[in-house]
Structure 1
Amino acid sequence: MAPNLPSNPKGLSSTTPDGLVAPPAAKVQKTEGFSVMAEAKPEHYHAGNKLTILVDMDNTLCDWEGAFEACMKAKFPEVALVPAEGRLNWDISKDYPAAAADKVKAVSGTPGFFSEMKAVEGGVEAVKAMAAAGHNVLLVTAPDPNFYTQCSQEKYEWVEKNLGAEWKAKVVLTRDKTTVRGDFLIDDKPHCDVGALEPEWAHVVFDQTYNRQKGGKRLSSWAAWKDVLGVKAELDCAVSRNPRASQENLYPNGINFSCVFPSFNQESIVRKTLAGLVKQKIKSNFKFEVVIVDNNSTDDIDAIYKKYRTKLDLTLVQRRKLANTFSVPSARNMGIQQAKYDYIIGMDSDVILNENFLENMYQFLSSKPNNVPYMVTAERIFVCTEGCSDDKLLEDYTETERYPRILSKANYFKPRDNRFSHGNILENVEKGWQPWAYFYGMHTAFPKKIWEKIGGYNEVYDGWWGYDDIHFAWEMTVKGGCLPTILGGTEGFHQEPYG
């Protein structure tokens, strides 16, 4: 145990809130090299020479128009039908007199309306051919808000009946298709590209009379899908490309790291964070620097700088008077602006990096193409370093093995990273559609050029605790195209007091 620290942490029992006995502190695994615990596969994010093709259902893959006409005749024969060739509006209720609007809307509530639709000619064969060629095909459809329970269930029934049970996993239900990532969206709706986000996909308009005014790519028949999407007859993409790869080298000056973190009145903790950086085991030919951004600390941050500036390539940025000293995102942005290297290690001031952290990051990134962006993080271990000096850590890095593990309230009363025991993080990062949700907490590596591309950390979170890191990871993944990755043997020790 560390000196002056009790074996049982003050204010914490040996059981967790759910009654489970807390595990004993495990020794740090002395790792030579690293393991890739989870890496989002490029092919899952429509990389390589394959496409992610999003396909709408109603009036694109399914004959919604035919189902509507049949039900309308049966339920409301007194209402004169507007023929398909006479349709002027995507919203069919606008093509009928106002007096018939309620009847028009009620038609899709007929039991079996969605599940019994016929397939649009050639559609089923086309999407199966896309999938057989290795393309990632997703059925992206908006449930009818008036009958969302019935509509959602029946759409799944239609998919199982017409495409097979395995295709149910490819259904995405959403009212806003701009939030779904892909290369192409085949959809009859003229303005489906208007939503919360700038769509990543190109809209291919599936031809209907009411969308003839819409410009751009147009698919008049499923038989023409290969020509319209620019795909060779043998079903391979006409161009070999990776939408996540840029045309430029993300680190033209080599892989070197700028470790950046903000600080406010954490003198004792920052000392040990810096000591951990001094003790990094560097075997490869790379450089790293450290940038601290001070948010108006009243402790002796200058003394820390003077002690460590001879041990590290260290920069201290002291901010002007702040209205709120918890202005973390803007501090991170300011530090990264000062950074001189191409890969950023975004840190918190209270994280002691594993002694192999930078070497492992270098080895991983150097094994990857230099024009594909990666966002790489690692597990956190929660420790108490109260009463422990940075000098002892400078003498012997194994001091970290003696730090007591903490059942952290911020980590759901667990000593090791909750992300790794909450659900299946590894599978969710590799295959899930929201991998950024697991990138809270810091000690994450990312390319500076992608940080610039997305406009940095969102400073609207200045003064607020939490979510700025998840928002940043979301933007780096969705807007910046980063591949989220988690490395093993590359932990960070999160310093936290007892209680």
Structure 2
Amino acid sequence: MQKKITAALLISTYNWPEALDLVLSNVLLQSKMPDEILIADDGSTDETRTIIEKYKKLFKVPIVHFWQEDNGFRKTLILNKAIAGAKSDYIIEIDGDIIIHRKFIEDHLNFARAGSFVRASRGYINEEYSAKLINKDTSKINIFSKNIANFFSVIRIPFLWPLFQKKYKIKGAELYEIHGCNMAFWRSDAIKVNGYNESFIGWGPEDKEFIARLLNIGIKKRFLKLGAVAFHIYHKENSRAQLAENEALFKETIALKKVYCESGINKYL
């Protein structure tokens, strides 16, 4: 009999408690709950802590809040601390501005396979409708609405998953395309490559570099298309001030076929 997979939902956040409130309220509606919820908090104020404490009383599964001092954009550090502290086999990662479909966790668990990590998609909610959701003027998302972009990422058709999982966006540069706001991987695989590279400071592309090392040790990429539906709440773009340096690190990992980063998760284990 196959061992039951335990799963953690990993949510990264920074000083947007209203969005995190909306995200967690949708997690409460899941058809299948994760075994734990990990909040990777890159230095938010007490307003975020208050939201998390509220939901700790509402969930039957543990919510663990990982927090670090606000010292600039250091997402890689707090993700590593959360993954190191996870008790589960499988990590399903989203951002704190992602609203998930009722069967999101169930889809990821049904799709999980040893020796692979998963890329999934997300649709975009426009600025006007995002504001209504945040302000709780509405709670419904209509995938056919003009307020939602990227339609083929927000419809759910499980029987078509096999058509895409090993053939969709796996050639050339597309092989490294991943959405940190909707991805899944085995905790043990993350530890093998030393987790996220903490040399990445500032926005992007820490997720691509992470999965590049997974690919370099032979972990396969599988695309969950038409499942694990997620919706991205509109917000202004983060600063790209460090992007050139971060892109150079990513390209170096590909060129040198790196399988391990010097500064990573091992210090927290």
Task: Please give the TM-score of this superposition, normalised by the length of structure 1.
Answer: 0.40
Deviation at 1:431, TM superposition (A): 5.4
Per-residue CA deviations over 1:53-96 (Å, capped at 9, x if unaligned) read xxxxxxxxxxxxxxxxxxxxxxxxxxxxxxxxxxxxxxxxxxxx
Kept after mapping to 2: 8 A contact 1:262/1:348: yes
Q: How does 1:152-163 map to 2 (within 5 A)?
A: none
* Runs of 5+ consecutive residues of structure 1 not aligned to the other structure: 1-251, 408-414
Tell me: CA distance 1:275–1:390, structure 2 relative to 1, closer, same or farther (3 Å).
farther
**Alpha-carbon distance in 2 for matches of 1:336, 1:447:** 10
Deviation at 1:363, TM superposition (A): 1.8
**Alpha-carbon distance in 1 for matches of 2:187, 2:41:** 21
Alignment match, 1:469: 207
Kept after mapping to 2: 8 A contact 1:373/1:446: no
Alignment match, 2:234: 496
Kept after mapping to 1: 8 A contact 2:111/2:224: no
Per-residue CA deviations over 1:288-319 (Å, capped at 9, x if unaligned) read 31111222213501220121112232111221
Kept after mapping to 2: 8 A contact 1:267/1:299: no
Tell me: CA distance 1:265–1:484, structure 2 relative to 1, closer, same or farther (3 Å).
same
Per-residue CA deviations over 1:34-68 (Å, capped at 9, x if unaligned) read xxxxxxxxxxxxxxxxxxxxxxxxxxxxxxxxxxx
Matched, 1:269 2:14: no
1:265 alignment partner AA: N
Higher-Rg member (1/2): 1
**Alpha-carbon distance in 2 for matches of 1:431, 1:318:** 35
Alignment match, 1:257: 7
Kept after mapping to 1: 8 A contact 2:10/2:91: yes
Alignment match, 1:32: none
Alignment match, 2:261: none
**Alpha-carbon distance in 2 for matches of 1:487, 1:418:** 8
* Runs of 5+ consecutive residues of structure 2 not aligned to the other structure: 155-163, 238-269
Kindly, what percent of the aligned residue pairs are identical?
A: 21
Report the secondary structure of 1:276's partner residue.
helix
Report the secondary structure of 1:340's partner residue.
coil
2:54 alignment partner AA: K
Q: How does 1:303-322 map to 2 (within 5 A)?
A: 303-312=50-59, 313-319=62-68, 321-322=69-70
**Alpha-carbon distance in 2 for matches of 1:271, 1:316:** 14
Alignment match, 2:74: 327
Q: How does 1:59-458 map to 2 (within 5 A)?
A: 254-282=4-32, 287-298=34-45, 300-312=47-59, 313-319=62-68, 321-324=69-72, 326-365=73-112, 368=113, 372-383=114-125, 384-389=129-134, 399-401=140-142, 415-416=149-150, 429=168, 432-458=171-197
Deviation at 1:389, TM superposition (A): 5.0
Q: How many residues align?
A: 222
1:331 alignment partner AA: I
Tell me: CA distance 1:340–1:391, structure 2 relative to 1, closer, same or farther (3 Å).
farther
Report the secondary structure of 2:95's partner residue.
coil
1:401 alignment partner AA: N
**Alpha-carbon distance in 2 for matches of 1:259, 1:481:** 21
